[in-house]
């Protein structure tokens, strides 16, 4: 088996290979493959995942769980290494040419994140980290600095397409976020966790995210000591609610 540093290099290279045509909006990449009420899939999602899978399969023999082609969710309860791939996180941003989207690749063993890479190809900013690995941003070791208190903290959150949008749920959500200094919704869960790990923001909360949204970020928590609380959805281990905070006191009781 490759060393962790070698595996991280493989993850980074896979992300870079997939990101090149994304960055330059290759022909047909912004064409809509599927659209429903609160979700959209582009040809870019499919092509990006195909490129990532080809490269990872060439370099390793680990199984893959990806947003577009799926995978075996039994891997979450096992002890086998596997890749978790979000080929384009922030798809609607990408469609509308909002420059907040990324490629995210994590390596996991059961539910323990081993290492990960998030590549923001618009800013040419790549985050990496994992067990016994520092958080590195663009080849520079990075130490996060979080707010001193919740009253000065920035929360980042979002509205995934499966989120409960009932008046009761939205009222609870509004009450939840009122104790933070600022709230940001950037449209990419993978970037949100990367930003908290880096100390750009302080706490991330979202319901109904998928494992591929946050797998790399879970690895960054191994590097930085971010506090993570996850609640899996009953009957669907790939769906979960997450708190991801620079300091435990930033987490609100739900």
- Per-residue pLDDT of 139-153, as tens digits, reads 999 999 999 999 999
Delineate the domains of the chain, giving CATH numbers in brackets: 4-141 (3.30.540.10), 150-250 (3.40.190.80)
Residue 65 has φ and ψ, to the nearest 5°, of -110, 125
Q: From CA 16, how far away is CA 104, in angstroms rounded?
A: 10
Going 106 to 112 to 115 to 119, the CA torsion angle's sign is: positive
27 burial class (0-12, 13-18, 19+ CB within 10 angstroms)? exposed
Pairing, β 125-130 against β 112-120 = antiparallel
Q: What pLDDT is attached to residue 37? A: 61
- 8 A C-beta contact, residue 150 and residue 227: no
Provide the whole-model pTM: 0.94
- Residue pair 122/207 in contact (Cβ under 8 Å)? The answer is no
CA distance 245 to 38: 27
Q: What's the pLDDT at 38?
A: 65
Report the pLDDT value the prediction gives residue 201, as an integer from 0 to 100.
98
Q: Which residues of the chain have pLDDT under 50?
A: none
Q: Where are the alpha helices (DSSP H) in 24-61?
A: 43-59
């Amino acid at each position: 088996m490759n060393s962790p540093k070698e595996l991280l290099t493989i993850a980074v290279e896979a992300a870079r290979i997939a990101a090149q045509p994304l960055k330059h909006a290759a022909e047909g990449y912004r064409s809509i493959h599927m659209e429903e009420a609160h979700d959209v899939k582009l040809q870019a999602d499919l092509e990006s995942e195909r490129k990532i899978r080809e490269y990872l399969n060439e370099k390793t023999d680990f199984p893959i769980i990806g947003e577009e082609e799926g995978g075996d969710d039994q891997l979450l309860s096992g002890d086998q290494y596997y890749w978790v791939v979000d080929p384009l996180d922030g798809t609607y941003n990408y469609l509308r040419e909002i420059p907040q989207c990324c490629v995210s690749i994590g390596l996991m063993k059961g539910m323990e994140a081993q290492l990960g890479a998030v590549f923001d190809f618009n800013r040419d900013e790549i985050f990496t980290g994992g067990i016994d690995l520092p958080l590195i941003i663009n080849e520079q070791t990075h130490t996060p600095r979080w707010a001193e208190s919740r009253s000065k903290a920035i929360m980042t959150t979002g509205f995934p397409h499966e989120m409960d949008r009932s008046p009761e749920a939205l009222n609870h959500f509004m009450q939840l976020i009122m104790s933070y200094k600022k709230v940001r919704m950037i449209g990419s869960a993978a970037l949100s966790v990367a930003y908290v790990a880096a100390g750009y923001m302080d706490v991330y909360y979202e319901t109904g995210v998928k494992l591929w949204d946050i797998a790399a970020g879970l690895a960054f928590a191994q590097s930085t000591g971010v506090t993570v609380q996850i609640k899996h959805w009953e009957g669907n281990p790939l769906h979960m609610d997450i708190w991801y905070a620079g300091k435990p006191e930033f987490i609100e009781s739900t």
